[in-house]
């Protein structure tokens, strides 16, 4: 283990993960803790918080990728920032091991208080070929790649003769009918529609979108009637919605679907684009800590957001967001716990910051987390959506406006809100941006070509040279003859 680099030796609140929870906790505490002689340290492998509800809109080309993330350096100016992963925590000795993102030697950090806010990762199943062929929608990089993949496949498909190869290129599949999957599918379909309008070699009917959902309904966050309406809406846009269907194999892009629950064969076809959005699971890094974990791999918490074992809460250990099992005192949660969403993450983060401050510095009092879910809003591309706000259902344009209004307000930091709203205004004026960026995986290609001398051409013999050689060749012959 490398020696601890020269980080602050002030009493540390270590925040593990700078997503929703980490960003808000650090932002709320950084100045107050500094004033008391302490330091907030945030460790995250990414230098930004990702506003995940905007990932479908980034994939659909409505929002510029950089505008959907919040830079830690720009907004956490009084926080000690470390770009790396926490790989282990030993709360007994109050130490954490950090693996820097630049690949340098891991080192140890000591702390007085710790906040475990490492979120969730995509939950997958051992399906043949899925790891090689699939892509998730949990990071900004995935959203950017998805947008480019869709536009590239449409462009390439438009140059192909009709047949199985073109069908494969122009088939786009989303597995998972939760909010993220449906929003992603709808945004991609809108983007594809806009792209084919500008490509006279293709029509919308040449492109196939398929939604695969293992249950008999989609979007558990909205009422059954609304969910049925969403299915009809997607079908009216030409999307094949396959309910009670699951993915059995994706080997080499050849999808085998099965009926659920009897697992009989359902359908087989090929695709180059398989998006997997079938749920999330608590970040498995927490298994490398000495914190109490529940049967679903979440860090156990009490309503005060303290990490809690069988013998009660641990001193100086806090958690919130998707990584944690926080009791839902409003009575609405699944299995008695808050569901993993941004609505809870933001509110928990703000309370957690207040509770740490109250506990450490005696200002205010430690309170319990209680929040009744306000509902959900989803956008399905321009002017389309569905929403369930405190039991009140909306569809179409009003739902889409509610979606934009809510997320426009909920995006952290004024400058980010402004950038996102500007994107929307630009989209309204100029339409969806269907420009495909080339060579993202090989950005040095153009320079490499320019800087590499052309391969030596095989010398084309000049006529004179031919003649000389012929004469030379002729000489010995002549000699021999002679
Ligand atoms: C596509 C999509 C759409 C969504 N839409 C909605 C929506 O409309 N409404 C809603 O309420 N919710 C929505 N959600 C859910 C919401 O985004 C999450 O509930 C929320 O992000 C949880 O916040 P968090 O802070 O717990 O985790 P995150 O925001 O995921 O942050 C976790 C952070 O921890 C970091 N990290 C991971 N491992 C380590 C480690 N070992 N060490 C240090 N740092 C680490 C990560 O890099 C990340 O920055 C959506 C999610 C997705 C994927």
**Ligand 1, atom 11: closest residue by C-alpha:** 342
Query: Which band of pLDDT confidence, cut at 50, 70 and 90, is reported for residue 1?
Result: low
Please report the pLDDT score of residue 456 as a whole number. 77
Average pLDDT score over residue span 445-454 = 92
DSSP letters, 404-463, are HHHHHHHSSSHHHHHHHHHHHHHHHHH----PPPP-SS-TTHHHHHHHSPPPPPPP---H
Asked whether the CA dihedral 365, 366, 369, 374 is positive or negative, the reply is positive
The pLDDT value recorded for residue 458 is 65
pLDDT tens readout for residues 352-382: 999 999 999 999 999 999 998 888 899 999 8
Please state the rounded mean pLDDT for residues 5-32: 94
Ligand 1 centroid–CA 43 distance in Å is 15
> Which pair of structure tokens corresponds to residue 231?
């299915």
Instruction: In whole angstroms, give the CA distance from residue 22 to residue 15.
Output: 6
The arithmetic mean of pLDDT across residues 126-138, rounded, is 97
Per-residue pLDDT for 58 more than 70? yes
Give the model's pLDDT for residue 391.
84
Query: How many Å lie between the centroid of ligand 1 and the Cα of residue 116?
Result: 13
For residue 134, give every residue at least 6 positions away whose Cβ sits within 8 Å of its Cβ, in sequence order, or none.
Answer: 124, 175, 250, 274, 275, 276
Q: What average pLDDT does this structure show over 88-97?
A: 98
Residue 400 near residue 380, CB atoms below 8 Å: yes
Pocket of ligand 1 (CB under 6 A): 16-22, 43-46, 52-53, 55-56, 85-86, 117-119, 137-138, 179-180, 283, 285, 321-323, 340-343, 345
Residue 11 has pLDDT above 80, yes or no: yes
Are residues 13 and 27 in contact, defined by beta-carbon separation less than 8 angstroms? Answer: no
**How confident is the model over 278-315, as pLDDT tens digits?**
989 999 999 999 999 999 999 999 999 999 999 999 99
Pick from 14, 18, 19 the residue to mutate for probing ligand 1's pocket: most ligand atoms within 8 Å of its CB: 19
* Closest ligand 1 atom, residue 54 Cα: 3
What pLDDT does 99 receive?
97
The end-to-end CA distance of the chain, in Å, is 85
Helix, strand, or coil (residue 232): helix
On the question of pLDDT at 471 being above 50, the answer is no
35: CA distance to ligand 1 center in Å? 30
DSSP string, 290-350: SS-B-TTSPEEB-TT-EEEETTEEEEEEEE-GGGEE-B-TTS-SBTTB--SSHHHHHHHHH
User: Atom 23, ligand 1: which residue's CA is nearest?
Assistant: 20
Report whether pLDDT(481) > 70.
no
The first and second tokens of residue 94, run together, are 């109050």
Question: Which of 53, 145, 222, 420 to probe ligand 1 with, by most ligand atoms within 8 A of CB?
Answer: 53
Q: How confident is the model at residue 2 (pLDDT cuts 50, 70, 90)?
A: low
Q: For residue 375, what pLDDT is reported?
A: 86
Q: How far is the CA of 120 from the centre of ligand 1 (A)?
A: 6
The fold adopted by the segment(s) 130-278 is FAD/NAD(P)-binding domain (3.50.50)
CA 20–ligand 1 middle distance (angstroms):
6
pLDDT over 70 (residue 431): yes
Least-confidence region, from 53-67, 280-294, 339-353, 376-390: 376-390
- At 55, the pLDDT band (50, 70, 90 cuts) reads very high
Ligand 1 centroid to residue 365 C-alpha, Å? 28
Cα separation, 267 vs 245, whole angstroms: 9
pLDDT computed for residue 476 by the predictor: 41
- Find all residues with CB under 8 Å of 210, minimum gap 6, and list them: 171, 172, 173, 174, 239, 240, 242, 269, 271
Band of pLDDT at residue 6, cut at 50, 70 and 90: confident
Q: How confident is the model at residue 85 (pLDDT cuts 50, 70, 90)?
A: very high
Give yes or no for residue 474 having a pLDDT over 70: no
Q: Which atom of ligand 1 is nearest to the CA of 48?
A: 49
- Rounded Cα–Cα distance for residues 98 and 84 (Å): 6
Omega of the bond leading into 261 within 30 degrees of 0 (cis): yes
* Average pLDDT value over all residues in the chain: 92
Label residue 480 by pLDDT band (50, 70, 90).
very low
Domain boundaries, the chain: 12-122+281-373, 130-278
- C-alpha of residue 51 to centroid of ligand 1, in Å: 8
pLDDT of residue 3: 53
Please state the rounded mean pLDDT for residues 51-67: 96
Residue 377 alpha carbon, nearest atom of ligand 1 = 8
Query: What are the pLDDT digits (tens) for 179-194?
Result: 999 999 999 999 999 9
Closest atom of ligand 1 relative to the 340 alpha carbon? 19
**For residue 438, what pLDDT is reported?**
87
CA of 19 from ligand 1 middle (Å) equals 6
Per-residue pLDDT averaged across 131-154, rounded?
96
Percent over 70 (pLDDT), the chain: 94
pLDDT value at 332 more than 80: no
What is the C-alpha separation between 79 and 30, in angstroms, rounded? Answer: 6
> Helix or strand or coil: residue 248?
strand
CA 22 to ligand 1: nearest atom = 25
How far apart, in whole angstroms, are the C-alpha atoms of residue 135 and residue 48?
A: 21
Distance CA(69)–CA(139), nearest Å, equals 10
Q: Rounded to an integer, what distance in angstroms lies between the CA atom of residue 424 and that of residue 440?
A: 24
Q: Is 70 helix (H, G, I), strand (E, B) or coil?
A: strand
What is d(CA 62, CA 55) in angstroms, rounded to the nearest whole number?
10
- % of the chain with per-residue pLDDT over 90: 85
Please state the length of the chain: 482
Partners of 378 in the β-ladder: 386
What's the average model confidence in pLDDT over 263-281? 96
In the predicted structure, residue 79 carries a pLDDT above the cut 60: yes
pLDDT at 460: 59
Q: 8-17, 24-33, 331-340, 445-454: lowest mean pLDDT where?
A: 331-340
Ligand 1 probe mutation, 16, 44, 186, 289, most atoms within 8 A of CB: 44
Domain 12-122+281-373 belongs to what topology?
FAD/NAD(P)-binding domain (3.50.50)
- DSSP label at residue 4: P
From 86, 99, 345, 410, the mutation candidate for ligand 1 (largest count of ligand atoms within 8 A of CB) is 345
The strand pair at 113-116 and 12-16 is best described as: parallel
Q: Which of 189, 201, 274 is nearest to 236 (CA)?
A: 189
Distance 322 CA to ligand 1 centre (A): 7
Are 208 and 241 in contact by the 8 Å Cβ rule? The answer is no
């Amino acid at each position: 283990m490398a020696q601890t680099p020269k980080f602050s030796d002030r009493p540390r609140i270590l925040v593990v993960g700078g997503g929703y929870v980490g960003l808000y906790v650090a932002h709320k505490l950084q100045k107050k803790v500094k004033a008391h002689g302490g330091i907030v340290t945030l460790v995250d492998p990414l230098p930004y918080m990702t506003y995940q509800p905007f990932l479908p809109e980034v994939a659909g080309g409505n929002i510029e990728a950089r505008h959907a993330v919040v830079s830690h350096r720009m907004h956490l100016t009084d926080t000690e920032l470390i770009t790396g992963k926490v790989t282990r925590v030993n709360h007994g000795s109050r130490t954490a091991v950090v693996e820097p993102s630049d690949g340098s030697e891991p080192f140890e950090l000591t702390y007085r208080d710790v906040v475990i806010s490492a979120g969730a990762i995509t939950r997958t199943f051992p399906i043949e070929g899925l790891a090689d062929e699939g892509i998730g929608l949990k990071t900004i990089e995935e959203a950017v790649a998805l947008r480019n993949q869709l536009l590239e496949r449409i462009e390439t498909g438009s140059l192909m003769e009709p047949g199985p190869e073109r069908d494969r290129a122009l088939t786009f599949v989303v597995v998972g009918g939760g909010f993220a999957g449906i929003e992603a599918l709808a945004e991609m379909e809108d983007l594809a529609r806009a792209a084919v309008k500008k490509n006279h070699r293709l029509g919308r009917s040449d492109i196939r979108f398929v939604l695969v959902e293992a249950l008999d309904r989609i979007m558990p966050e909205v009422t059954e009637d609304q969910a049925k309406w969403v299915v009809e809406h997607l079908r009216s846009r030409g999307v094949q919605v396959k309910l009670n269907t699951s993915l059995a194999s994706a080997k080499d892009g050849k999808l085998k679907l099965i009926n659920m629950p009897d697992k009989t064969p359902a359908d087989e076809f090929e695709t180059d684009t398989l998006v997997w959005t079938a749920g999330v699971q608590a970040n498995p890094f927490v298994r490398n800590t000495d914190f109490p974990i529940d049967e679903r791999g979440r860090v156990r918490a009490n309503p005060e957001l303290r990490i809690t074992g069988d013998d009660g809460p641990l001193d100086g250990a806090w958690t919130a967001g998707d990584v944690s099992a926080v009791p839902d005192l409003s009575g609405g949660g699944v299995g008695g716990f808050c569901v993993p969403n941004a609505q809870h993450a933001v509110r928990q983060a703000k309370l957690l910051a207040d509770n740490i401050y109250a506990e450490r510095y005696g200002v205010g009092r430690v309170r319990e987390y209680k929040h009744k879910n306000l509902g959900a809003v989803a956008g399905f591309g321009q002017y389309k959506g569905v929403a369930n706000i405190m039991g009140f259902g909306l569809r179409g344009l009003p739902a889409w406006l509610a979606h934009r209004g809510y997320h426009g307000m909920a995006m952290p930091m004024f400058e980010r809100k402004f950038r996102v709203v500007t994107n929307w205004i630009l989209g309204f004026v100029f339409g969806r941006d269907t420009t495909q960026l080339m060579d993202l995986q090989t950005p040095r290609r153009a320079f490499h070509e320019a800087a590499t001398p052309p391969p030596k051409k095989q010398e084309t013999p000049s006529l004179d040279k031919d003649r000389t050689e012929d004469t030379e060749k002729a000489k010995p012959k002549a000699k021999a003859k002679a």
